[in-house]
Each structure stands twice: as structure tokens, then as C-alpha cells.
Structure 1
Amino acid sequence: MTAETIISARNVVKAFGQGAAAVRALDDVSLDILRGEFFTLLGPSGCGKTTLLRLIAGFEMPTGGQILLDGADITTLPPNRRPVNTVFQSYALFPHLTVAQNVAFGLQMLGKPAAEVKATTARMLALVKLDHLAGRKTAQLSGGQQQRVALARALAPQPKVLLLDEPLSALDLKLRKEMQVELKRLQIETGITFVFVTHDQEEALTMSDRIGVMSNGKLQQVGTAKDIYTRPRNRFVASFIGETNFLTGTAEDDALRIAGGARIPVPGLRAGGAATVTVRPEQLRLGPPAEGGLPATVRDLVYFGTDTHCHLLLEDGTELVARLQSPASGEAGFVTGQKVGLRFAEGAVQKVEE
């Protein structure tokens, strides 16, 4: 554990049930979260991310391993003795109280002086831009406003760590994107460590300083959004973070030989049996067959506004998708059935473990 680490999970195991029927929600997870960072636990439903969050909060006890906060062992401490707060998906606001009273509630429970409660409540409402709604009941607020109240209430006691359990999932798409920006702003302005749980890859990529990708109770990879997107450790990470293409074949030195006989450059690959590589759709380049590249046929075109997804078929039957910028009005683009030559951007093809 480094001096910068604020949360450390050491060989954490969490099993539900007994004996042969026991299910390991977390299987020997070790992780360091740094002070002042926005850290996201990302993965599909049932991967263990919320279980890990609940262990940090103290709502669950681990079957094995330790949880440390600022170097102190908090593994068995009850939630009320941990300097962390949690924002839940449901927000759990008090409908009979005003916005200001909701934010002040936690401070009052801590026995803070009335003047401090008033000043802190005002500061938190200004931070989340709800000071003009201080006297309104929470039932009269929109979903986005209610979430801001929940954030202000959780931030008011100045916890060392703020835990967020999929707090954006109940919002519509436009509001969710707006709140992604707001959450990151709040984290930067307060300097508090945020640990955010989501299954939404876009949320993770746009907000996080670092991401921990989880699957089947295990931590698959930890890194920055760019690291994980451009250099995924295994097939699961590559497929879960964004869209990608996979190619399988025989590993040669610095190349992959696919079924049709074509040789795809893969710097660093060493000869040695079967191998799988991945390449992102935006890293595919299409041109006339006469210019070389892998022979391919345009099978389908799907328009997404600024982008067009071009579904391609190689001669050996392999299907790939290229993400291309949609042509401007009047410009000629590709058409279904067209023969093309396919190339890959330099360094874009990466070997992945199964």
C-alpha cells in the first residue's frame, strides 16, 4: 500500500450460502483506491461490484480478507463508525422534509452546532446548484434534482470517501449525461474520493480517473479509461468496454495468420499456436481493392448520424465492423455489396488472452 492509497482491499472473499451451495460473489479481490480519485467499479449484473461497495460501506462483512481505510483495518467496523457515506440508486430522501432539512439531517445526527449545520447546508446546496430550492419538499423535485439533494446530504459531513451505487440508472438519457458532468465537477471541487459502481461503460469512460473491470467475482483489469480501452488484458475486458472486433488465427512473429491465409501485422506477437487479437471499429481503414489490404465485402451499412457502422465480410467468412465518419451531404460513401481493401491503423491490433 502506497502513501496515496485511501482504500485497500486485500484478498477479499465474500461467499453467500454454505458448503457446496455457497456462491462466491467476490473471489480473492485485491485493490488499492487512491486518495482524491474518481474510481469506478464496472461490470455486468452479478459480477460483484456492488458487493465490494457494500463491504467498503460496512453493510456486509467479508468471508475472508481485509478492508483498510487510511491504513486502519475497518473490516469489522459497523457502518456508522466508518468515515464514508453512500448515495443509493433510490436516493432514500425524506419526503416530509424540505431540501435543506434533508441535507442538514446527517449533520444534526452527528450533533453539529446549529450555526455549523446552517452554514454547511447552505454551502452544499450552492455546490449542487439547488440553493434556490432550499425550502421545497423533495417530492416536488425532478429526478435529477432529487439526486443532487442526495449528493449534497452525503457530502455535507465531509466523508473521506463517497460511495455511489448506480445513482444515475433511474434518470433518462439526456439527464444522465448532464449528471455525469456534474458528478465529475463535484468530485474535483470537493477533492473527496468517489467510488462509483455502474454497468454502463460510457459512464465509466467519461468520468473515471481509473476503472476496475469486474466479472464473476474477480477483478479483471485496473487502469485508466484509455489504458483499458486501447490495451484490454483479456477478451472479456475488450468486449465489455466499447465495441470491438476479434480475429483468431495462428501466431507468427509479429503477425497473425488467419484462416484465409492473410497475414495481419501484430507487433510483439510471437510464434506459438492459436492466438486471438482485437481491434476497435474506428481503427479499421477502407479503400479500393486495388490499393491492397485484406479483401472484404460490404455486407451492411448502419447509419448513426455522425458515424456509419460498416459491416464487412472477409473471404474466409469472418465478420468485422468498421466505424466510419458519415459522408457529408452529396458525397459518395460505401454501398452494400461493394468490394474493398481493409487495413488497420498502426498499433491498433492487440493480442488478448481468452
Structure 2
Amino acid sequence: MPIAVEARNAVKAFGQGAVAVKALDDVSVQIRQGEFFTLLGPSGCGKTTLLRLIAGFETPTSGQILLGGEDITHLPPNKRPVNTVFQSYALFPHLTVAQNIGFGLEMQNRPRAEIKETVARMLALVQLEPMASRKTSQLSGGQQQRVALARALAPTPKVLLLDEPLSALDLKLRKEMQIELKRLQMETGITFVFVTHDQEEALTMSDRIAVMSAGHIQQTGSPRDIYTRPANRFVASFIGETNFLTGKSDGRQVVLHNGAAVDLVTKQGAVSLAIRPEQLRLVATGSAGAMPARVASTVYFGTDTHVHLSLSDGSQIVARQQIPATGAMDLKTGDEVGVILPADALQVLED
């Protein structure tokens, strides 16, 4: 698949000398044409800085930014075939929905007939035809977001950059707009580069995700790869819930600090293991292959129950039981229970 956007050894430092802070430190990534690509990470990890380098709002201290194989590192923003949707929609309150959508085309001196046709097509795409003559101040937050998207899509950019555009919406509307954004990306075929700190948002919308931390990309892959095969402890802890267990390995068996042994072929010496809450099996205490635990608390979530457990060495883990689930145990605080760690669900992680 052709590469739409590429960062090569991108460094962005703010300040000079000893006080310089590297927001990006030798970042390289390739974003494929026509994919929904997400930059995911906590605040200050460098994801928005990377987006701004692609947009042209910042220039890298060193390294290159390429678009379709062409070096655009020093090209001004207005010369790049990319558009940006910001967290604040930046709509013009004195203009109608249709006028807002057509504004960029007007600035490009496009023919009036073309502008009218494009605006009509964008209104249909974001399902806002009945709102065409309304002022944007008369719209809901979700409708304003759709106007901002339509305005950004109207000039048919090669790449659409989205900087946490859903963060101002309430939870229900956010989930609706996640579906809407994915639909728009698939219908237009435009490459979307999406910035968020919301793990669930990234997992549900993306074709691929780059997980970032402290100016570095920790892992790039599909949502399934990121969740099921995290590259290191940071990715495992940042994406979803994860239980971490430590112990020593002789190469074929890991003895955990609580004394439990797991048959697992891995490197020798001290190891760190990870397992997702839904992969733990809860059984009756004393069951073969189970390590003893005590229920510290249970938290009901409607679709499942999170069972917080204390192990014999004092460490804490969480198990998730689906509701309803055949064979699920009815547990309460203080109950004794056995925990089985399936070897095929355990992962040995780098710190």
C-alpha cells in the first residue's frame, strides 16, 4: 500500500542548550494511504507535536516530513494538501452551515458552481442538509463537529489531521461521533491521522495505532496487535487493564514471588509477566494448578464484574467475569478463591 505520510528521524526540541526539551526524539513512522491512523498517548507524549509537524504549524529541529514521498519539511501550511480539525471547532458564528463548509473553497477562488455542488455533497455526507441555512451557534456540539469535518473535507485534502476533536463532547455523543468519523473516513477514502489520549477511542476507530510516550513511539500496530501483544510494560499498562506479576525463570518454568509456578518457556532470570483480567480463570480454592487468593472487593459494571483479588504475597490482581456467564462464581468480599493463569495468555514483557 502506498505511503501517504512519513516522518523520518523527526526531532522537535523547544528551548536551547541544557534547558532544551525534546517533545519528539528521533521519531520515524509511516502512515499508509487511505487508513485511519491514530497517535495515542498521555498528555505531553509528543502526539500533538507530531501532528503539528505534519500540518506545517511547527518545523522539526531535525529530520524530515514527507507527503506521498515528497519532502514537505519546510513547506508552509497553506501549501500542503492537508487539513486540520481542532479540538475547538473554530467555526464562524456569523456564517451559516453552508457558508462555513464553503469558506475554504471560496478562499481558493473555486468556481461558484463547483462550490455549490461540493457544499451540497458535504452536507449529505455529514447528514446536515436540513441545517444548511442555520447559523452554527444554533447547532448542538455534535452538529458543530460535523460542520467542522465537512469544512475540512470539502477541498478533498490528501490527509485529514484530527487533534482530539471529540474531547469536548459528552460520552454518548462521543461514541456516536466515533462511528460517524469512521464512516466518513471509509466513504471518502482520505487518510485520517487522529490524535487522542482515549484508549477505547483508538481501539474502536483505528486501522493502526502508534502508542507514544516521552517523545518516542513505543509500538505501532493494529488495535488487536497492540492489545494482545504489547511490546513493553508501558503499552500493556496504557492500553486497557493489565495484571503484572514478577518472578524468576529457569527457562522453562516461572516461579512467581507468591510461590506459584507457571510452565512457560522464556528467558532465564527475573521476568515480568502480564495477563489481561478477562484471561484469568477463577476456580474453587484448592483446585489443581490454581494459586490461592482472597476477594478484596467486587465492582459491578453491568456487562461484567471486576473481581479485585489479593494474593498470598500481598500483590493485587483483577479478574473480569462476564455477565451472564456459564460457570461464573458468585463471589463476595472475603471469599477464598483459586486463580489459574493460562500459560498461553501470559506475556513476558520488557520494562
Residue equivalent to 2:107: 109
Residue equivalent to 1:226: 224
Q: 1:74 aligns with which of 68, 72, 75?
A: 72
Residue equivalent to 2:276: 280
TM-score normalised by length of structure 1: 0.96
Matched position secondary structure for 1:121: helix
Question: Does 1:308 pair with 2:305?
Answer: yes
Contact 1:165–1:197 at 8 Å: present in 2 too?
Answer: yes
CA distance in 1, matches of 2:98, 2:252: 62
CA deviation digits over 1:328-354, x for unaligned, max 9? Answer: 8xx961121111111124521101110
Matched position secondary structure for 1:270: coil
Deviation at 1:100, TM superposition (A): 0.1
Residue equivalent to 2:15: 17
Percent identity of equivalent pairs: 69
Runs of at least 4 residues of structure 1 off by over 3 A? Answer: none
Report the RMSD for the aligned CA atoms in angstroms.
Answer: 1.2
Matched position secondary structure for 2:344: coil
CA distance in 2, matches of 1:278, 1:252: 18
Matched position secondary structure for 1:289: coil
Change (3 A) 1:327 1:334: farther
CA distance in 2, matches of 1:277, 1:49: 28
CA distance in 2, matches of 1:80, 1:39: 23
- After TM superposition, the structure 1 = structure 2 runs for residues 113-192 of structure 1, keeping only pairs within 5 Å, are 113-192=111-190
CA distance in 1, matches of 2:322, 2:300: 10
CA distance in 2, matches of 1:347, 1:58: 45
CA distance in 2, matches of 1:120, 1:332: 58
One-letter amino acid of the counterpart of residue 10, structure 1? R
Contact 1:301–1:335 at 8 Å: present in 2 too?
Answer: yes
- After TM superposition, the structure 1 = structure 2 runs for residues 1-354 of structure 1, keeping only pairs within 5 Å, are 4-266=2-264, 268-271=265-268, 273-292=269-288, 293-327=290-324, 333-354=330-351
Contact 1:286–1:343 at 8 Å: present in 2 too?
Answer: yes
Deviation at 1:327, TM superposition (A): 5.0
Deviation at 1:96, TM superposition (A): 0.3
CA distance in 2, matches of 1:21, 1:263: 48
Change (3 A) 1:332 1:218: closer
Name structure 1 gaps, 5 residues minimum.
none
CA distance in 2, matches of 1:254, 1:98: 68
Contact 2:282–2:329 at 8 Å: present in 1 too?
Answer: no
CA deviation digits over 1:270-306, x for unaligned, max 9? Answer: 22x2110110000011011232211111111111111
One-letter amino acid of the counterpart of residue 141, structure 1? L
Deviation at 1:264, TM superposition (A): 2.0
One-letter amino acid of the counterpart of residue 241, structure 1? I
CA distance in 1, matches of 2:173, 2:252: 46
Q: How many residues align?
A: 348
TM-score normalised by length of structure 2: 0.97
Contact 2:262–2:343 at 8 Å: present in 1 too?
Answer: no
CA distance in 2, matches of 1:111, 1:345: 63
CA deviation digits over 1:111-170, x for unaligned, max 9? Answer: 110000000000001000001100000000000000000000000000000000000000
Contact 1:327–1:333 at 8 Å: present in 2 too?
Answer: no
CA distance in 1, matches of 2:5, 2:37: 11
